Structure 1
């Protein structure tokens, strides 16, 4: 174990020398470090936590924090990182991981530049016209947000709105993402339930936004409290400390808090729909 500690120290010293101010210690007790990697306007944060058994037994824990990146891109990059780990058991891998992220950003930047270069004037004009056309023909449903709370450096906040159609679901999500702080959250988990009176059926779905299983758990909570015609979004800003299974409890706490604030819990035993105030 002492050998691991010494190897960790040597690796972090080397990483700090290479990345300097872009490598920051987030938590000394948990040995968590945030490495900021940039290529032009594309920025990604590689957050690593070093367990006592690293590197002799297995790799460190990691999290990719890059809100602009699509889920598909995150999965592709995560697969690359995990392949590096699998082929280097017993070795220090943080520098290789960071360089893999940098390589991914460079390739993504090159692809974007190529796409922009190929864009014709006609396409630019068409996009400008489309931007001037309003996306929504009806006002966005009222959104209620709870006060954020922080647990072990991760911050959680719930948002809720009454919705009757999938179009309103998309409208609420778009409105929330207009808020830069919410858009930059590490995860925006959501679930919704809509009761279709004409067919006597439920329209419901959820999204993890990278927080595996969190969306389905949030949807399960809505089912338990019998909420209907509602969308709940829980924003989480990761603070550098891995919370394990506790994160699901905290996400549900944020959801319950905003359900209570919006007046949905009091009505759940009756119709499951928000009270008229």
Structure 2
């Protein structure tokens, strides 16, 4: 409890209590620039045995943090825990993450390539869905009847499903799944 109070006073608004009863906390860490390029959100759950017998359960959230970068940072945090067994380590973890972000900001690494998925811009310029198609020369009513006819049992090919990269925000993970469908039967399959 003393550690949590200390962290709250040190980090101010960046420190967040998610659930005090369950001992879930979150801190937003950046590279200390006037306009930060690199930011990570560290979420920790303090188990009953922390700090004497159990490490904090943690999650690192940043859209750009993947693969090798994630593994290196996770290994650094686990190494800090092992070097400081039985001691409070959250402050050390936060400062290690900040150190990594500052190094990234000072190196030649470009800004993170983050595709904004929460912003939606609706511009109707007519070019949203340009499809390469040939106009139908036959009677459109006759064609519509052919397409929607239940009596026609056509073995349609199922469309391929494209899976997006998972995005984790707070305690939720989101992943997009897209498939191009052209008939109602493909949707129901």
What is the aligned partner in structure 2 of residue 35 from structure 1? 27
- Return 5+ residue gaps in structure 2 as ranges: 120-156
Which among 14, 23, 32 is matched to residue 22 of structure 1? 14
Structure 1 residue 32, shift from structure 2 partner? 1.0
1:106 matches 2:95: no
State the number of aligned residues.
144
Structure whose residues are more often strand by fraction: 1
CA RMSD of aligned residues (A): 3.4
Residue 58 (str. 1) matches residue 54 (str. 2): yes
- 1:161 maps to none
Q: Indicate conservation of the 8 Å contact 1:49/1:60, yes or no.
A: yes
- In structure 2, the partner of 1:151 is none
Closer, same or farther in 2 for the Cα pair 1:86/1:54, shift >3 Å?
A: same
* Mapping 1:76-95, distance limit 5 Å: 76-95=72-91
Could you tell me which residue of structure 2 aligns to residue 75 of structure 1? Answer: 71
Residues in 2 aligned to 1:235 and 1:86: alpha-carbon distance in whole angstroms: 30
User: Which structure has the greater CA radius of gyration?
Assistant: 2
Q: Which has more helix, going by share of residues?
A: 1
Task: Determine which of 227, 238, 256 is the counterpart of 2:169.
Answer: 238
Q: TM-score, normalised by structure 2?
A: 0.63
- TM normalised by structure 1 equals 0.44
SS in 1 for 2:164: strand
Change (3 A) 1:178 1:80: closer
Please state whether the residue corresponding to 1:112 is helix, strand or coil. Answer: coil
CA positional deviation for 1:72: 1.6
In structure 1, stretches of 5+ residues that fail to align are 1-8, 117-173, 183-225, 242-246, 268-277
